[in-house]
């Protein structure tokens, strides 16, 4: 009611309001379309699920260039788009090579399924790594400070996390560009916490 009364003076009826809400990007899932315009990406930071894609649209001439060499649109101008699949977990910073300070990042979360009793099948990639990609997965038990390796440079997409010791564990994953020399790693995914009983 409050929203409606605020919008009413602008002439938005209930039907138009519902239509606007239905098409608004989800705040949780994040936008999968990013506008490159002026000297910024909008939204600059976004989160998308494993195996989804992100599309940039361009106003003026820009690039979307992964800081770790995961993608590079090269120069694109007004009206053009560039789409990149985001298959695996990590945080992927990128920039425009034309405008200094024009930066953004894509976060792709680690997934899990299972239970405290039977352990958690972690999924850090929608599919096994293609050539030139590998994954690192780390954990730490709550109350400890240092991360430990669960997988290093694996090309598998999933693994069962079921340590002998009970407790709450934090988990994170990243993607490595092994086609680069030397290797270049994405940032770490957002941390997830899972119980082991």
- Interaction site with Cu ion (CB under 5 A): 62, 96, 98-99, 102
Q: Which CB sits closer to Cu ion, 34 or 96?
A: 96
* Cα 178 to Cα 30, 77, 173, distances in angstroms: 28, 30, 15
Shortest reach from residue 98's CB to Cu ion, in Å? 4
CB of 112 to Cu ion, least distance (A): 37
* C-beta of residue 51 within 8 angstroms of C-beta of residue 126: yes
- Residue 80 or 98 having the CB closest to Cu ion: 98
Beta strands in the chain (DSSP E): 33-37, 40-42, 45-47, 52-59, 65-66, 81-86, 90-95, 103-108, 111-115, 119-123, 133-141, 148-154, 158-161, 167-177, 184-185, 192-196
Strands 184-185 and 158-161: unpaired
- Nearer CB in complex with Cu ion: 83/162: 83
Minimum gap (Å) between residue 76 Cβ and Cu ion:
10
Residue 112 pairs in a beta bridge with 122
Closer by beta carbon to Cu ion, 96 or else 137: 96
Q: Rounded to the nearest whole angstrom, what is the least distance from the CB of residue 66 to Cu ion in the complex? A: 15
CB-CB neighbours of 143 under 10 Å: 7
CB of 103 to Cu ion, least distance (A): 10
Complex with Cu ion: residue 42 or 195, whichever CB lies closer: 42
């Amino acid at each position: 009611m409050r929203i409606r009364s605020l919008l009413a003076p602008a002439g938005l009826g209930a039907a138009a309001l519902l239509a606007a809400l239905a098409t608004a990007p989800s705040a949780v899932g994040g936008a999968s379309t990013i506008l490159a315009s002026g000297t910024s990406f909008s939204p600059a930071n976004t989160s998308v699920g494993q195996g989804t894609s992100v599309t940039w649209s361009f106003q003026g001439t820009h690039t979307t260039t992964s800081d770790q060499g995961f993608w590079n649109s090269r120069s694109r101008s007004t009206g053009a788009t560039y789409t990149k699949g985001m298959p695996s977990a990590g945080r992927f910073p990128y920039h425009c090579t034309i405008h200094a300070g024009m930066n953004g990042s894509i976060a792709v979360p680690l997934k899990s399924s299972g239970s405290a009793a039977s352990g958690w099948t972690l999924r850090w990639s929608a599919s096994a790594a293609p050539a030139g990609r590998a994954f690192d997965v780390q954990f730490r038990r709550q109350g400890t400070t240092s991360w430990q390796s669960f997988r290093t440079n694996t090309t598998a997409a999933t693994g069962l996390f079921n340590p002998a010791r009970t407790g709450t564990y934090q988990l994170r994953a990243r993607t490595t560009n092994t086609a680069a020399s030397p290797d270049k790693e994405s940032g770490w995914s957002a941390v997830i916490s899972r119980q082991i009983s």
